[in-house]
């Protein structure tokens, strides 16, 4: 891999990271607002039992959160307790969790582009698609997972380990979020870089 105009791949990585991180540090709340309609769609489509009544950004100072306020659409039994329909439930997760994904995925994409100087459009499209997929696998699921964790903690602690959403939330918070971002970035690069047929390389060598 040859990096045009760069002394080493490390310079490309560092430069890409600083630019992307600075951009999302300045525009983080705006990026979070752009994601809200997408998250509302996912919550309504896949979690109809938790009817969303409010999803927005909130917090104080530098601590900004996605906050979800929902109600049970139907009675729900948790352990020995039957919660009536209309029970209000709340969940939250840091905006910074959502910002981690674009910083990592777009840094990886920018570094590869600086080294290859080709397939820019295709790389951008693939990076954005995988970024959206990764965001959908994180924030909405963690919001519901935080709600279920509170319910199980209060009414049925022994059943908490059976919740896949609670398990997924803990997995992401214990390093899985980084792994998810890196996986999304690698897949975007694999599909975004146009590969030339092997015989083209052979012809260039013979020439």
Q: Tell me: the pLDDT tens digits for 172-198? A: 999 999 999 999 999 999 998 866 554
Domain count, the chain: 1
Closest CA to 170 of 189, 193, 148: 148
Residue 79: the pLDDT is 85
| Structural domain range at position 169 | 9-46+100-194
Residue 207: the pLDDT is 46
Cα 30 from Cα 33, distance rounded (Å)? 5
| Residue 67 backbone zone (phi > 0: left; psi -120 to 50: alpha; other: beta) | beta
Residue 161: the pLDDT is 85
Q: Confirm whether 164 is domain-assigned.
A: yes
* Contact assessment for residue 48 and residue 30, using Cβ atoms and an 8 Å cutoff: no
Q: Confirm whether 23 is domain-assigned.
A: yes
Cα 155 from Cα 16, distance rounded (Å)? 47
Q: Confirm whether 83 is domain-assigned.
A: no
Q: Confirm whether 187 is domain-assigned.
A: yes
* Entry pTM: 0.86
Residue 178: the pLDDT is 97
Q: Confirm whether 4 is domain-assigned.
A: no
Q: Confirm whether 70 is domain-assigned.
A: no
Sign of CA dihedral 130, 132, 135, 137: negative
């Amino acid at each position: 891999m040859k990096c045009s105009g760069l002394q080493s791949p490390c310079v490309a990585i560092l430069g890409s990271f600083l630019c992307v991180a600075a951009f999302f540090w300045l525009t983080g709340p705006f990026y979070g607002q752009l994601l809200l309609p997408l998250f509302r769609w996912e919550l309504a489509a896949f979690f109809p039992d938790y009817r969303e009544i409010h999803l927005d950004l909130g917090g104080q100072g530098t601590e900004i959160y996605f906050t979800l306020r929902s109600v049970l659409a139907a009675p729900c039994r948790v352990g020995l307790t039957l919660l009536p329909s209309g029970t209000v439930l709340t969940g939250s997760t840091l905006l910074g969790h959502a910002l981690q994904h674009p910083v990592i995925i777009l840094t990886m994409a920018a570094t590869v582009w600086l080294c290859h100087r080709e397939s820019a459009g295709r790389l951008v499209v693939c990076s954005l698609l995988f970024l959206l997929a990764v965001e959908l696998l994180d924030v909405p699921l963690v919001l519901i997972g935080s709600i279920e964790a509170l319910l199980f903690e209060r009414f049925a602690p022994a059943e908490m380990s059976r919740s896949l959403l609670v398990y997924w939330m803990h997995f992401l918070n214990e390093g899985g979020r980084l792994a998810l971002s890196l996986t999304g970035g690698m897949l975007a690069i694999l599909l975004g870089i146009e590969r030339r047929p092997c015989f083209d390389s052979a012809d260039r060598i013979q020439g």
